Chains A and B, each alone.
Chain A
Amino acid sequence: MPKTTSTSWKVITYVLLGLWLLFAIVPLFWMVGASIKSPLETNTYPPTFIPRSFSLQNFGEVLRDRGFGGGEEFVPTIEIGDETVLEGPALLPGIRPFWNSLKLGVVTTSVSLVISTMAGYVLATYRFPLSGFMRGFVLLAQQIPIVLLIVPLFLVLSVLRLAFTFWGVALALIVLVTPFNTWLMLGYFKVMPRELIDSAEIDGASQFTTFWRIMLPLAAPGLATAAIFSFTRAWNEFLLVLALSRGQENLPYTVGLYNFFGEYGSGSWHLIAAAALMASLPVLLIFTVFQKYFIAGLTGGAVKS
């Protein structure tokens, strides 16, 4: 870019950037405003842009309301198979959808990370029969939109007796994020110096030791990117959950919000706004703290940092 810049161009630049920032922020400001105004103010015509009242009662109402979470109260549990291994204290019912989203996000992320790191590593490191074909396939798999497979996927999960269960949705989410994660990890391992592996193997380390002790720690930034990408995708996913869930038991917040809106309609924007804001906070937090990895993940690896 040219070094000398005229003052008028600087002014134009700031004005244009300011306009875009305004456009980017106003819808969010509008939503946040509706969530912290009193219900009366939010639902009174004409609407106010700058809130005149302030209350947190909308958030309390969403968390207490059975319409969002179902049931009288909610007890968070962690199950393995049919067995409950951990049971939390009784909480407000509105916490349930967020807890379900969190569980889906954590399970999807950890399972997909294990699968994709292992596969990405061998595909990047070794040549073996069909390795070229499989690399091509991993690349191709990224281009298959899961939307288009939703009906047959539902059938497969039904046959496995996983339709409408937590693990059914989790598996679908794992399929959703694994192609990208594998491609990302493959790229990470590919650019690492080949000598590291060769010298470890000359020293007599097994393939697994080389992977576990030497290569995996070096891939930490890739793992972070994949983890943040997977968690955000799982936390925000709507369609797979909509098609593969039933009842409120395992429903994450995305479809919970949809049902909630269906139940209350546009007469309760104060509640919708409060629920939407709470749902956005975890991702906003991750975004603020891990911006670099977040961007690498969200651009789908298109932007190399």
Chain B
Amino acid sequence: MNTLFFTDRQRRIAFSYAFLTPLLVIYILLMIYPLVRGAIWSLQDLSLAAMAGGQDISFVGLENYRDLLADTTFWRKIVPNTVFFVAGSVVLQIALGIGLALLLNQDFIVGKRLIRSLVLLPWVTANVVVAYSWVFIYDSRLGLANQVLLGLGLDPVSWLADRTIVMPAIILANVWRGTAFAMLIHTSGLQSISEDLFEAAAIDGASPWQMIRRITIPLLRPFTLLNLLYATMATLNVFDLIFVMTGGGPLNNSSVASLYMYDISFTQGRFGYGAAISMFLLLVNIVMTYFFVRWSGEDV
């Protein structure tokens, strides 16, 4: 019926927009609007205290951002913690993931599928469950970690209450959880490398170690970069693992940026300042993604 009045092209456009509408409604209402709203808040002195006091919410320009620049807790504690947490987790996950992928990719291994499934188990487990498993392991009296230390003839440690040990302890839990992901990515990378290359190298008398260094590692590079991007972004925004394990304590010693933002906003009710932190973190996310994509020179 419509065929007489509308061209094919017009009908295709109408169909396309009809099919896009639900997505657009969800995105605009629950992603773009909150984003814009957050950006506006970051320029206002919005807080529970001000609201309770009946004050008018006013624009304060970049004051929240100036506060952020001058926030010593943020720069001396939160940022170093976040960098340590992200770098420690990502480097260990990728290094161990490459190692596991290389080991598992050898032809002689028996029961590959089963081993791979078992390696993947920690990663399938919910973060809350991961967190409590490790809190239990780190329990100073009933935990496994201190039993291991005692078995080795060492003194027990209060893992999650000691300000220097708490972060490495959380990183260990995160490495336990996240290494399987790095292994998966690099396994698919290894499977993309042609056997011919190794055969040719073997004919030329290359040692296994030379083959890994000259063929495997360079050809895995795009996969490693992709892994680096995914893992860095995911780790940068980790919330539940640390929130459940320590709540950021003791005394902010395991608090990272996302936790700090949550604490400022929800616990302290400083929404304007919290929004400024959010915007800053969003900018960090975008800038890092941009550089990763440019650096890896491909469409991630």
Contacts and interface: CB of A to CB of B under 8 A. Distances in A.
Given A128-B16, A143-B233, A171-B30, A280 B126 contact: yes
Interface string B95-129: 01001100111111100000101111111111111
Interface string A103-137: 00000000000111011011100101101001001
Interface in A204-223: 207-208, 211
B19 A143 contact: no
Contact of B37 (A17, A156, A305): A156
Given A25-B118, A30-B144, A134-B20, A13 B109 contact: yes
A238 B127 contact: yes
Given A28-B133, A175-B27, A269-B139, 9 more contacts: A17-B103, A21-B115, A122-B16, A122-B19, A152-B38, A236-B128, A254-B128, A304-B188, A305-B188
Contacts of A134: 20
A150 B133 contact: no
A25 B122 CA distance: 8
B176 interface: yes
Is the contact region of chain A dominated by helix, strand, or loop, or is it mixed?
Answer: helix
A243 B15 CA distance: 37
A129 B9 CA distance: 11
6 contacts: A43-B142, A46-B147, A119-B20, A144-B285, A148-B279, A174-B30
A23 B100 CA distance: 13
Interface in A127-168: 128-129, 131, 134, 137-138, 141, 143-145, 147-153, 155-156
Interface of B: 11-13, 15-17, 19-20, 22-23, 26-27, 29-31, 33-35, 37-38, 41, 96, 99-100, 103-109, 115, 117-129, 132-137, 139, 141-144, 147, 176, 180-181, 184-185, 188, 198, 202, 208, 211, 226-227, 230, 233, 236-237, 239-240, 243-244, 258, 261-262, 265-266, 271, 274-275, 278-279, 281-282, 285-286, 289
Interface in A275-301: 276, 279-280, 283-284, 287-288, 291, 294-295, 298-300
A42 B139 CA distance: 12
Contacts of A175: 26-27, 30-31
B122 A152 contact: no
Given A23-B176, A119-B19, A303-B184, A147 B26 contact: no
B20 A123 contact: yes
B23 to A, nearest CB: 4
B187 to A, nearest CB: 8
A45 B244 contact: no
A28 B173 CA distance: 12
A144 B281 CA distance: 10
Contact of A27 (B122, B126, B198, B227): B122
A63 interface: no
A100 interface: no
Contact of A153 (B11, B30, B126, B226): B30
Nearest to A112: B26
A5 interface: yes
Contacts, number: 262
Contacts of B27: 137, 141, 175
B230 A302 contact: yes
Contacts of A42: 142
Q: How large is the interface on A (under 10, 10 to 19, 20 to 34, 35 or more residues)?
A: 35 or more
Given A10-B108, A49-B144, A116 B23 contact: yes
A147 B129 contact: no
A239 interface: yes
Contact of B271 (A123, A151, A291): A151
Interface in A1-59: 1-3, 5, 10, 13, 16-17, 20-21, 23-28, 30-31, 34, 42-43, 45-47, 49
Contact of A122 (B15, B125, B139): B15
Contact of B125 (A20, A28, A182, A273): A28
A115 B23 contact: yes
A152 B139 contact: no
A211 to B, nearest CB: 8
A207 B34 contact: no
Nearest to A149: B34
A3 B203 CA distance: 12
A99 interface: no
Given A24-B122, A236-B127, A128 B13 contact: yes
Query: B35, B115, B133: which has the most chain A beta carbons within 10 Å?
Result: B133
Contacts of A92: none
Nearest to A30: B144
B41 A24 contact: no
A305 B185 CA distance: 11
A283 B144 contact: no
A258 to B, nearest CB: 6
B300 to A, nearest CB: 9
A76 B278 CA distance: 38
